[in-house]
């Protein structure tokens, strides 16, 4: 059963993401589901997400170019990170992803998928400790 919390929604009618306010996101237990916004270029903002999240799904951020490494590091319970349909996402953050992260799924993100190829991708060293499913690479 879903526990929908309106304050965790990511897109606003004006396109400014100063708080989580409109439709687009659901919290189900410790998971953030269906997180999308077409205007965001960096995600997540500092303090935006609860540190107890165990799963985060970043989906259809059309203009997303970077992930905020410091904010992701604060998600100390994060075990599963899925990034889908973020075609402009260039790379993983310079800061290491949370040590609690066990599963990373990257699909339909061609720029990021190239960087995360097993053993020879430029970002591989950042994710070698996780199970990764990345594009055509597993």
Output the 3-class SS for 48-88: CCCCCCCEEEEECCCCCCEECHHHHHCCCCCCEEEEECCCC
Percent of the chain with pLDDT over 70: 70
Model pLDDT, residue 13: 29
Tokens of 109: 């993100």
Model pLDDT, residue 65: 94
Q: Which residue has the higher pLDDT, 35 or 60?
A: 60
Percent of the chain with pLDDT over 90: 39
pLDDT of 46 > 70? The answer is yes
Q: What's the chain's average pLDDT?
A: 76
| Cβ atoms of 48 and 68 closer than 8 Å | no
Lowest-pLDDT choice from 10-24, 31-45, 67-81, 84-98: 10-24
Query: Can you tell me the mean pLDDT for 58-86?
Result: 92
Model pLDDT, residue 38: 67
Model pLDDT, residue 16: 27
pLDDT single digits (tens) 97-134: 999 999 999 999 999 999 999 889 999 989 988 888 88
pLDDT of 91 > 80? The answer is yes
Strand, helix or coil for residue 6: helix
Distance CA 88, CA 109 (A): 7
């Amino acid at each position: 059963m879903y526990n929908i919390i309106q304050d965790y929604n990511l897109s606003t009618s004006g396109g400014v993401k100063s708080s989580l306010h409109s439709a687009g996101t659901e919290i189900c237990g410790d998971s953030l589901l269906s997180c999308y916004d077409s205007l965001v270029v960096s995600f997540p903002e500092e303090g935006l997400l609860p540190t107890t999240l165990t799963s985060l799904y970043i989906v259809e951020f059309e203009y997303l170019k970077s992930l905020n490494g410091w904010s992701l590091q604060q998600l100390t319970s994060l075990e599963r990170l899925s990034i889908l349909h973020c075609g402009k996402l260039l790379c993983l953050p310079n800061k290491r992803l949370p040590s609690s992260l066990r599963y990373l799924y990257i699909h339909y993100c061609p720029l990021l998928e190239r960087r995360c190829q097993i053993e020879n991708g430029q970002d591989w060293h950042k994710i070698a400790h996780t199970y990764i499913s990345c594009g055509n690479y597993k």
